[in-house]
Structures are given as C-alpha cells and as structure tokens.
Amino acid sequence: MNWNFRGIYPHKKPDIFYGQKGLSADTGNPLPSATLTTSAEAVTTPGDISITAYAVNTVGFQWQTSADGEEWVNITGQISKTLERFYPHIAGTAGTYYYRVLCAGWLGVVPSPAVSVTVSYAVPSVSISVSAEFVPNAGMVMLSAEGRYVDTYSWQVSRDGVEWVSLGINSPEATIDYAPEDGGEYFYRCEAVGLGGTVYSVPVKVDVEYHVPEITISADMLSVMSPGAACITATATYADSYEWEILASNGIWTYIQGGPELSISYEEGEAGIYQYRCHAIGKGGRAVSESVTITVTCPPPTISIAADALEIESPGPVTITATSHLALGFSWEVSMDGESWESIADATGPELSITYADGEEGIFSYRCTAYGNGGETMSNELRIIVSAPVVEEPEPETPEGEGSGEEGSLTS
C-alpha cells in the first residue's frame, strides 16, 4: 500500500537521516499506533455503533473490516479517526464483525488491535386487542395485532388457555364469527415471527353467550286404547340432555326419565287424560316445551251372571256369581215382576248371596252392573223360582156306625 504523506501534510517533509552504511528509515520518531474504543460491543438491529481511534504518531487512517479477524478489507471512504456503522434490520445482518484501523505515520503504516461487534436481530414484540370481551351468541369479534420487527402473524385459539390451535389466519387482523352452537370462554393469542425469533402476545379472553335451547314435542298417537303404547319425540336445538314431566292428578308436574324420545306403555284397563312436557337442557340454559295431551281409553267391562240354583224351595240360600273382564266395581238389583227394579243395598261385589225365608215363594229376577274405566255394562237378568214346600193335609176320620149304607126311610 502506498501512502502519499504530502497529500496529508504537503508543507512538511519527514526528517530522514542517512547512516554511514547506507540509507536508513530511522527518523528518530516512534512508529504510529492507536487504541480503539467502541460505543457498544453488541448491537441489535436496527442499530449503530461508533468506533474511535485514539492514535499517536499518526497522520492518516484507513478503516478495515473482517468477517473472521484474519482477512481484512478496506472500508471505502472511512479515513477519519471515528468509524460510524449502521446495521439495518434485514436478513443477513446478524453476525460478528471485526474492525481495525491502519495508522499511517512518518515511518510507515501500522494496524491497530482489532475490536469485534456482535450484531443480533431485535426480538419481535406484539400486542393484541379485541373489539369486544363479551359476545352474544352467533356474534363476531375483531382481533387486531400491533408488532415491531414482525414478518408474519399467526392467530391461535384455546378453550382453556393451555392447549392452543391455529386458526389458519396469517394477518395482523382476524375476524371471528361464532356459530349458534358456540359458546363459553375463548382465548386468543398471536404468534409473531421475525428475524429475531418467535414470540406470543398476551392472550385475550372473549366470553361467548351460549344459545338457549329451543324445543318442540310431538306424539305419534294422541288417542290410545289400552293396553297400548305411545311415543313422544322432542325436537331441540342446542340441547345436551332432556327431562320429561307428567302432570299429576294434584296439578303438580312430576319428573319421569327419558331422552329425546319418551316411550309410554298403558296397561290393560288403564284410562285417563295424560299431559306431558319436556325440558331441553343446554349450556345456554333450560327451555320447556308446550304440553302434549294423550287420551287413553279402554273398552267397557264384560259381564255374565250365573246362580248355583235356578229353582229352590224356601227356606234356603242361593248364590249368584258375576263373571267380568275389566270390572272395577259391581251393583245388584232385584225385581219381583221383571219390570220394577230395586237396588240391593251393600251388594257391591261379584257375588250375591240370598237366603229365602220359610214360606217365601215367587219368581225373583236379578241383574248386575259392572263398572270399569271404559264405562259400565249391565248383565242379562237371571230368574230364580222360589216355591214354598207343599203341605199334605190328612184325610178326615169316619165315625163308627156311619158309613155309606143305604139311607133309611121314615115309615109311618
């Protein structure tokens, strides 16, 4: 390297002494030297440093840089005692840089000791905001991220704040639409990636109101003949479970177990009007349906009567038995003429026992009425002939001397 010292100091000539044995470079002055100080040993992008050379016996400077501290390259235009360097926040900037300065003096050029500067990328930072912290069901929110040194944004969601799932939205802003079945707590955060690494924002929480269930019920049959069955189906949205109720005779709704369908069996002879309703239970609350009414009917009872005797002499007993299907109660009547009927007091069972008094006779007609849930049925009449025993009267006795002789005649 050639240095033009006159270019630096054109009016001063170096003092050169010649020895006896030839030309000597010894001028009597020390060699140039410098020490370097840096404003920082480590810099994050974007950032800058300044390196200052404190030199002696130096008339000129040339700054150099190296990637490994071994191979040095001049930095064009940097010939002052202070080197200013700026490191932009772009790919390829980070690394370790070595710097030194060449000190030019009257006796030559001497490099200073090298200094190193470590350049790293600035770590990204990101903060997020949400348009609303509480959202009615089927609403939406807007998420917005603001970051520094961020190249890409990626949104994530969590239901518990621990397990995170990507939303597939890679922009500083995100719009979240909630479906009617959505609800509960949602946590959102933004993943920010830059040259300096990956960071996550502080999560924000959004409370989404669950939709209240909606329910209707319908029965496959509104009128049932017992024995029989019916099925009531609940159609509900946003429901997780169901509770069924039946209206009791005291006017109070009573719980019965069931799912989306309620299957009901009615036993033989059962009849009545039954009302049912269903509760749909979901995360958004509870909804109760309108009631449905099922009328259960049964056929009227059947009845026939028979006696252990149809003819009897008094005094004596007779038992008449009623045979019935679906009967819940009985009543008995008697008639002496087959037209006028009289209720028999305290005769409410399927058997009627009668005791005829001594000497009682006549034709007695009986009939029975069976009562059930399906109505009432009267039996055919049954006749019992009661007769008094026949008493044989003895023949009168004939006095002696009397007989059937010829009647005498009166003579004169």
Residue 367: pLDDT band (50, 70, 90) is: very high
Amino acid letter, 329? G
What's the pLDDT score for residue 401?
54
Alpha carbon distances (Å) from 398 to 77, 123, 248, 404, 405: 189, 158, 88, 10, 13
What's the pLDDT score for residue 399?
64
User: What token pair was written down for 209?
Assistant: 């109101």
SS3 6: helix
Q: Are residues 279 and 324 in the same domain?
A: no
Q: Are residues 22 and 96 in the same domain?
A: yes
What's the pLDDT score for residue 404?
46
Side-chain-side CA neighbours of residue 312 (13 Å): 20
Residue 393 is assigned to a structural domain of this protein: no
**Average of pLDDT values for 160-171?**
96
Of 121, 139, 168, which residue is a domain's last? 121
| CATH assignment of the domain containing 239 | 2.60.40.10
Decide: pTM greater than 0.85: no
Residues 78 and 84: their CA atoms lie apart, in Å, by 9
Q: Are residues 130 and 35 in the same domain?
A: no
Phi, then psi, of 193 in degrees rounded to 5: -120, 130
Residue 229 is assigned to a structural domain of this protein: yes
Contact 97, 65 (CB under 8 A): yes
Residue 399 is assigned to a structural domain of this protein: no
Scan for tokens 């946590």, then name that residue: 187
Residues 317 and 335: their CA atoms lie apart, in Å, by 17
What's the pLDDT score for residue 391?
72
Residues 41 and 54: their CA atoms lie apart, in Å, by 17
Of 244, 268, 297, which residue is a domain's last? 297
Residues 186 and 143: their CA atoms lie apart, in Å, by 12
Q: Are residues 11 and 58 in the same domain?
A: yes
pLDDT(307) > 50 = yes
**Average of pLDDT values for 12-18?**
35
Contact 340, 312 (CB under 8 A): no
Q: Are residues 52 and 141 in the same domain?
A: no
Scan for tokens 């704040």, then name that residue: 161
Return the C-alpha torsion angle 76, 77, 79, 80, nearest 10.
-130
For residue 288, the enclosing domain spans 214-297
Q: Are residues 12 and 110 in the same domain?
A: yes
Domain count, the chain: 4
Q: Are residues 279 and 310 in the same domain?
A: no
Residues 280 and 288: their CA atoms lie apart, in Å, by 6
Residue 335 is assigned to a structural domain of this protein: yes
Of 173, 208, 243, which residue is a domain's last? 208
Q: Are residues 100 and 141 in the same domain?
A: no
pLDDT(269) > 80 = yes
Residues 352 and 243: their CA atoms lie apart, in Å, by 50
Contact 318, 393 (CB under 8 A): no
Q: In the chain, what percentage of residues exceed pLDDT 90?
A: 82
pLDDT(259) > 50 = yes
Residues 65 and 74: their CA atoms lie apart, in Å, by 6
**Average of pLDDT values for 31-37?**
94
User: What token pair was written down for 2?
Assistant: 């050639």
Phi, then psi, of 173 in degrees rounded to 5: -125, 150
User: What token pair was written down for 15?
Assistant: 């003092």
What does the mean pLDDT of the chain come to? 89
Residue 392 is assigned to a structural domain of this protein: no
Residue 396 is assigned to a structural domain of this protein: no
Contact 377, 300 (CB under 8 A): yes
Q: Are residues 114 and 46 in the same domain?
A: yes
Q: Are residues 11 and 105 in the same domain?
A: yes
Residue 408 is assigned to a structural domain of this protein: no
Residue 55 is assigned to a structural domain of this protein: yes
Q: Are residues 110 and 37 in the same domain?
A: yes
Q: Are residues 80 and 137 in the same domain?
A: no
What's the pLDDT score for residue 8?
38
